[in-house]
Every structure is written in C-alpha cells, then in structure tokens.
Amino acid sequence: MTLRPTVAASATRLSTRVFCHLAQGGIVRGPAFKSQPQQAAGASYFTSKGFSTPSNRSHPRESIRTMATGAAAGPAKRVLVPIGTGSEDMEAVIVIDVLRRAGAEVVVASVEDSLEVKCSRGIKLVADVLMKNVASSETFDLIALPGGMPGAERLRDCAHLASLVAAQKGAGRLYAAICATPAVFLEAQGLIPAGAKATAHPAFSDKLREQGAVSQRVVVDGTLTTSRGPGTAFEFALSLVKQLYGEEKMAAVAGPMVMYPFSV
C-alpha cells in the first residue's frame, strides 16, 4: 500500500535532530547526534512548497528484483523478510517500510501455502513470493525475522527458512529477529552464536538466559541483531539500515519520518 500524504503548511527548511540507538561493544546504546543529511531517494519529504513524493511507485509483481521503493548508490542491498500466520503486524510492516525507504530491495516471503498472510492483529499482508520458491542459492545481505505468535512458530517450523538462516549465519552475513522470534526460532534452532548477547520480548527472555539475554531495546552482536517487540520496531529497523548503509543513511531515513529524540 502506498500512502500519499498532503500537507497544507509549507516549510522552508527541514531540521531534524535524530536520536537512535547506536551499536557500541555489541550493545546498542543511545548517544544523540544532530544531522541534516541529504534526503533519501524515493522518500516523501518537506520542501519550500510542502510535501514532495516521487511519482514512480511501480513494483512489477513478476520480478522480485524490482521491489525497493528508494534508489541507493550502487546495487541495492537485498533483504529477505519472511512472514507467516500470526506474524506481528507492526514489526513486519515497519521493518519492510523502513528498509525500502533506505533503498533496499526487500523480498517479503510467505511460509504459508498462499501469498496472503493474516497477521496476529488481523491485518492481512500479501507477500511477494512463497518461501518455498526462494532458491537456496539466493543471496541476501540481510534476513530479518518479525515476531508475533504464532508467527514465530510458523517461521521456526519452516525447514527451508531455517536452512536459509543457518546458511546466512555461516556465511557471516547479517540476520536479525525481534519479539518472540529470537527465542522461539533462533535459540530453538541453535542460531544464536555461543556467548553472544541477545534480547527478546520480556515474555520470552527466560528462554534466552543461557544465551546471555539482556534487556536493551536493540542488541547488535556481530552479524546478529535482536530486539524486543512492537514498541522497539523503528529502532530495530533503523539499526538494520545503519548496518547495511551507514549512519548517514540511517539519519536520512529517520529525519523525514519525524523520529524525534527519545530516551529509554
């Protein structure tokens, strides 16, 4: 779904002060910084004439290589976001949206037998491809797993997805999980490296105690990123943007979304 907001008031300058959790020593901390970065291509933004939105929104369904909504310098980073029945609505949509704003080519894959998936709060999402049709030879810069129940279990029980995530980990490429999924999927499949720090939804933290569970909102340890739930989904997604594209791109994406400074 493409939102086309209109804003009556004009602005002569957009000034944003973005406060995000930055990775330090594996744990995502929160130093504030000021930035007026260049606008991320493909995103809506303020100009002296109001809100401006690029008109090219075409995403041909026949090609999963044309799904990014914002262009990035050089080849787009490829991201796989699997979803299943009961996946957490906000976590799935926020991760997909934020990464596409950054210019990533996000492939949404259903672990079910149909492209349409009903999420945990009843929102229906239409995936780009069935997980079973994602070839084992496909290479992704990031695999990002939303949480939710029973969505986390549906992802865990997809043997093909588990194999892809294991290969991602083994190749030293980025992989991430939020909410119940770090415990229900990653821990259960032995996909959290020994000694690595990780976090999960408070209801599932006990399952991670032997894996060094911590209570930070977003945790980055090597190539693994974990987070806690719907309320941390924007921080989680922006952390993934930072890892894929760098701090400047993260700020460029956060600014037009009006991500005001916050503290936790």
Tokens of 36: 């007026």
Determine if the peptide bond prior to 75 is cis (ω within 30°).
no
Q: Of 21, 119, 158, 201, which is the active-site residue?
A: 201
CA–CA separation, 244 vs 125, rounded Å? 25
Tokens of 45: 């933004």
Q: Of 20, 119, 158, 179, which is the active-site residue?
A: 179
Instruction: Give burial (CB, 10 Å; 0-12/13-18/19+) of 119.
Output: buried
Beta strands 224-227 and 218-221, pairing class: antiparallel
CA–CA separation, 62 vs 66, rounded Å? 9
CA angle 195, 198, 161 (to 5 degrees): 100
201 noted as active-site residue: yes
20 noted as active-site residue: no
Q: Which helix (H) or strand (E) holds 145?
A: strand 142-145
Tokens of 122: 């009843």
Cα 180 to chain centroid, rounded: 15
Q: Which residues are catalytic?
A: 179, 201
